[in-house]
């Protein structure tokens, strides 16, 4: 069906002449000649006009609307660019530099970046599928957590090998001989140790004991009564209790952690201690501090978690 365009019909033009105005006749005067009247403008049919099917000219929006649209478009572009710039600026800032997002300092120590040591060629990690015996093949000294920034390293145990006697000195005198005997009977291979002190008076000791197998490490842990309680009494006047503030037991499913603290502080010295058993290796971590102020919990748990990660 062909689209049809309706063209408005040409209206009939009718000449309307005005009636002559009577003027006083004068003898011999000729009648005036009047020009013909202009024909009336044709009426526009309904629906015809600019933009309509019968129109001849497109509809133009008012200039006021065009100016308003231009202003809003410019405003959106400006706001968009400002938002993008703000987002980029926030993304490039440290969290502590962003107002409202700053993390309050919680007392943690500044440790250097930790990396796992290289392994001998062909040796697997302790908890990889190819290492069912859970043996640490890396140099034990390189698995020790480093001292944090601001620490004064103890020259007696500064990250090298140490003796069973040095390890036993962390316990009460009446139990040191027994500990020496346990170490002699447990197929001990090496002991690595590191100690340091911090400006706030906290002293730290970390020992790593590697045995010939995971079974020997577990046997030593049991002989030291670690797990059901605080174990063999450390060089401390009171027995320790489980640290109720520790929530990191699930940080590494391949290792076992046992965390303790002092039960009845006397106002002179405080202590926190923990054991980690990771395959063939057992770790002891001890933090002590003079005075009635508790040993800071955050850096102690921080040290424990990082050392656990190095062993796991």
pLDDT digits (tens, 9 = 90+) for 139-175: 999 999 999 999 999 999 999 999 999 999 999 999 9
266 exposure class (CB count in 10 Å sphere: 0-12, 13-18, 19+): exposed
- CA nearest to 286, candidates 201, 178, 207: 207
Pairing of strands 240-242, 256-262: antiparallel
> Where does the pLDDT of residue 72 fall: very low under 50, low under 70, confident under 90, or very high at 90 and above?
low
Question: Where do we find the tokens 């039960």?
Answer: 263
Tell me the chain's radius of gyration from C-alpha atoms: 47
* pLDDT value of residue 268: 75
d(CA 225, CA 232): 6
Written out in words, the top-level CATH class of the domain with range 140-311 is: alpha beta
pLDDT (tens digit per residue) in 175-189: 999 999 999 999 999
For the chain, the structural domain boundaries read 64-104, 140-311
Position 97 confidence tier, pLDDT thresholds 50, 70, 90? very low
SS3 (DSSP) at 191: strand
Torsion (CA) 262, 266, 270, 273 in degrees, nearest 10: -20
């Amino acid at each position: 069906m062909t689209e049809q365009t309706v063209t408005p019909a040409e209206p009939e033009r009718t000449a309307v002449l005005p009636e002559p105005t009577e003027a006083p006749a004068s003898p011999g005067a000729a009648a005036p000649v009047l020009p013909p009247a202009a024909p009336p403008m044709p009426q526009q049919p309904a629906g015809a006009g600019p933009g309509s099917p019968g129109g001849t000219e497109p509809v133009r929006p008012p200039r006021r609307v065009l100016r308003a649209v231009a202003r809003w478009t410019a405003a959106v572009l400006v706001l968009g660019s400002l938002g993008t710039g703000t987002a980029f600026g926030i993304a490039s800032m440290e969290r502590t530099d962003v107002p409202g997002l700053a993390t309050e300092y919680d007392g943690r120590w500044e440790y250097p970046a930790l990396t796992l040591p290289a392994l001998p060629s062909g040796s697997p990690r302790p908890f990889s599928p190819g290492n069912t015996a859970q043996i640490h093949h890396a140099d034990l000294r390189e698995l020790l957590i480093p001292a944090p920034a601001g620490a004064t390293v103890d020259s007696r145990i500064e990250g090298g090998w140490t003796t069973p006697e040095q390890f036993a000195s962390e316990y009460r005198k009446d139990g040191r001989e027994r500990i020496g005997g346990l170490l002699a009977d447990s197929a001990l291979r090496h002991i690595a140790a590191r100690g340091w002190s911090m400006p706030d008076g906290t002293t730290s000791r970390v020992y790593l004991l590697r045995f010939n197998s995971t079974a020997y490490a577990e046997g030593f842990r049991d002989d030291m009564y670690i797990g059901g309680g605080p174990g063999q009494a450390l060089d401390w006047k009171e027995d320790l209790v489980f640290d109720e503030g520790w929530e990191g037991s699930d940080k590494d499913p391949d290792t076992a952690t046992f965390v303790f603290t002092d039960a009845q502080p006397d106002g002179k010295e405080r202590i926190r201690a923990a054991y980690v058993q990771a395959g063939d290796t057992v770790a002891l971590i001890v933090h002590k501090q003079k005075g009635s102020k508790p040993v800071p919990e955050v850096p102690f748990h921080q040290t424990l978690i990082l050392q656990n990660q190095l062993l796991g």
